[in-house]
Amino acid sequence: MGWKTVWSGVVAAAALAGSAAAQPHNVIIFVADGLRAKSVTAEVAPELAAVRSEGVDFTNSHSIYPTVTTANASAIATGHYLGDTGNFGNTIYVGAPLPPPDGTSLAAIEEDPTFALLNDRFEGNYLGETSLLQAARAKGFATVSVGKLGPVGVQDVLAHDGRGTIIIDDETGRRPQDGLPLSPEIAAAIAAAGLELRTPDRGANAFDGDDKTPGTKVANVSQQDWYLAVATKVLLPRFKTQGKPFVMVFWSRDPDGSQHNHGDSLNALEPGINGPTSKAAIANASKDLGALRKALADLGLADTTDVITTADHGFSTMTREAPNSASARYRYPGVVPGFIPPGFLAIDMAQALGLPLHDPEGKAINPAAGGYPKHGALLGADPAHPEIVLAPNGGTELIWLPGPDAKALAARVVEFLTGQDYTAAIFVNDGLGPIPGALPTSAVNLLGSSRTPAPSIAVSFRTSSLGCDEPEMCAIEIADSGQQQGQGIHGSLGRQDTHNFMAAVGPDFRKGFADPTPVSNADWAPTLAHILGLDLGGRGALKGRVMREALASGAPVGSGVFTLRSAPAANGFVTILNGQTADGARYFDAAGAPGRTVGLKP
């Protein structure tokens, strides 16, 4: 071999070594849906606690408001607050009714077919922003989103054809019109691993009970075991063989689904979501995280993979006790006498404002005959042209005023809301205010560059503590949803719902670091894009920040606190908002009238 040959071989080897060194790290974003920060202990959730202790413990973490799943999924995906993404809740108003299979003006975003309808309606991408998975996919990363139906699809709304990001959710392998396709290669790989090409259903975990029958007593084990097997036996080995960097989102339905449906305290507030079923669900999510980390280690990928753990929101125990509500005077099938039904706010508002009440399909509802709206409501004489549209999102109700007299009507709606003892905080679209008793929606980043219609009003319902040492761990919440008293709920601007679990471990994060700086779900995408060298761009200005203080080479970031207070309504009602700031981003701790919100500092 001549010297020229030897020299060229050395150069080639050096080039390959340089290329390997420059390859971006991998990322797994593990979302434990509905996990409260203070519910993670080494005894109940050892693998989650290990990430927190080994890497970065984000002690001052925040969910995006409203504190519901797909809203926070959009923030995790894009790094933008809801005023930009327009994914204001799990149910939103979209103007004219969508075509079938949805068919109404209230879109339920936790269904795969809805994504295509929303994209068709709103300029090809209803979110209007580039997601982390989209940016990674464009740069040659392998990308996958697996787990809970709804938030999994939000991670890459432009790749629902089976040819881009791999998306596997509850509907995979079921009816084609309900689910998203898989590429033939992935389908064959799942079959070759000895797994069924069909997501198992939730079995007994899906049983939510009724007013006389307790809900589930088991965690969502079998379904999540299948997701885990697909991730560890098919996807991660495939990425290892390909030699490509990857970004994986693994969205665990537990503990959320089990907390919503649990049967540990039917119509009783204790133990509520602190009972054995909820703890088993937290343990189940923790087990899955541990199995993912073990698979990384077995494949030799642990040292090059950042593992992010977050929750979309915290949780509360549902209370249906609001005796001053006009809705509580009627009797409804499936509702304990004296309790408020789903749709209570629509019933009360229709009566107070003298407006006919309809369900989202336009059917008239008569509460005196036992009728109540289960999935939103339209108020006005003509349901095809409603004066008020209400979208229930658990502990928050989103309200749109699509008619020509919106400004005058907003003042009447707010006056009504300030007189209800279940109202905690009121936010009114800046274009309709100011209105005494309410703060502007821009104060909580609900007004930006969204393509979907921005809410006219957002109402956070009353939350309180049962008196334990940790108020976040024994909070109860009035909410517009179908759960029974004692089951789990979320959505409010109480600290028990905004204080989600967040931690990270891996080569790009500090070790054994408790981060006191405020952070939120909107900070994940910009932080990971920074680590991976991706450009998210962005139409809107309501963005999260890079969590520089948590990175391996990080430095402290200054932070501050703020309190906003509305002008008092005629009856003295005020909305107070507690928040924090860091590096130009804003974080929302709690909001409400004094005495009506867990964690509020008047």
Q: Considering only CA atoms, which of 340, 319, 311, 321 is closest in space to residue 497?
A: 311
Provide the 10 A C-beta neighbour count for residue 8. Answer: 11
- Which contacts of 346-353 are long-range, i.e. CB under 8 A and separated by 24 or more positions? 346/373, 346/376, 346/377, 346/379, 346/390, 347/372, 347/373, 348/416, 348/420, 349/379, 349/388, 349/390, 349/413, 349/416, 350/377, 350/379, 351/326, 352/326, 352/416, 353/379, 353/388, 353/412, 353/413, 353/416
Find the range with the poorest average confidence among 49-53, 157-161, 225-229, 544-548: 157-161
Based on the fold, state whether residues 40 and 144 are members of the same structural domain. Answer: yes
Based on the fold, state whether residues 198 and 345 are members of the same structural domain. Answer: no
- Is 129 within a domain? yes
Integer Cα distance of 357 and 94 in angstroms? 19
pLDDT value for 18: 41
Per-residue pLDDT tens over the stretch 582-600:
999 999 999 999 999 999 9
Residue-range definition of the domain harbouring residue 197: 25-317+495-550
Residue corresponding to tokens 């922003």: 129
Q: Where among 441, 467, 489 does a domain terminate?
A: 489
Mean pLDDT of 57-78: 98
Mean pLDDT of 270-290: 98
H helices of 198-243, in order, are: 221-229, 236-242
Based on the fold, state whether residues 94 and 160 are members of the same structural domain. Answer: yes
Integer Cα distance of 374 and 380 in angstroms? 18
Structure tokens at 86: 């327009």
Mean pLDDT of 110-122: 95
- Is 589 within a domain? no
- Is 14 within a domain? no
3-state secondary structure of 364: strand
The values of phi and psi at residue 283, to 5°, are -65, -35
Based on the fold, state whether residues 183 and 259 are members of the same structural domain. Answer: yes
Per-residue pLDDT tens over the stretch 470-521:
999 999 999 999 999 999 999 999 999 999 999 999 999 999 999 999 999 9
Spell out the SS3 assignment of 436-483. CCCEEHHHHCCCCCCCCCCCCEEEEECEEECCCCCHHHHEEEECECCC
Integer Cα distance of 457 and 435 in angstroms? 11
Based on the fold, state whether residues 375 and 264 are members of the same structural domain. Answer: no
Looking at the 3D structure of the chain, how many domains does it have? Answer: 2
pTM: 0.95
Q: How far is CA 543 from the centre of its chain?
A: 16
- Amino acid at site 273: I
Integer Cα distance of 529 and 552 in angstroms? 15
CA atoms in the 13 A half-sphere facing the CB of 79: 28
CATH number of 115's domain = 3.40.720.10
Residue 349 predicted with pLDDT over 60: yes
Structure tokens at 447: 């007004």
pLDDT value for 23: 84
**150-179 burial: b if 16+ Cβ within 10 Å, else e:** bbbbbbbbbbbebebbbbbbbbbeeeeeeb
- DSSP codes joined into one string, 45-78: -HHHHHHHHHSEEETT--PPSS--HHHHHHHHHH
Mean pLDDT of 276-292: 98
Based on the fold, state whether residues 66 and 163 are members of the same structural domain. Answer: yes
| Residue 179: pLDDT band with limits 50, 70, 90 | confident
For 20, the enclosing helix (H) or strand (E) is helix 3-22
Q: How far is CA 507 from the centre of its chain?
A: 27
- Is 555 within a domain? no
Based on the fold, state whether residues 342 and 400 are members of the same structural domain. Answer: yes
For 495, the enclosing helix (H) or strand (E) is helix 495-498
Return the bridge partners of 29, or none. 249, 308
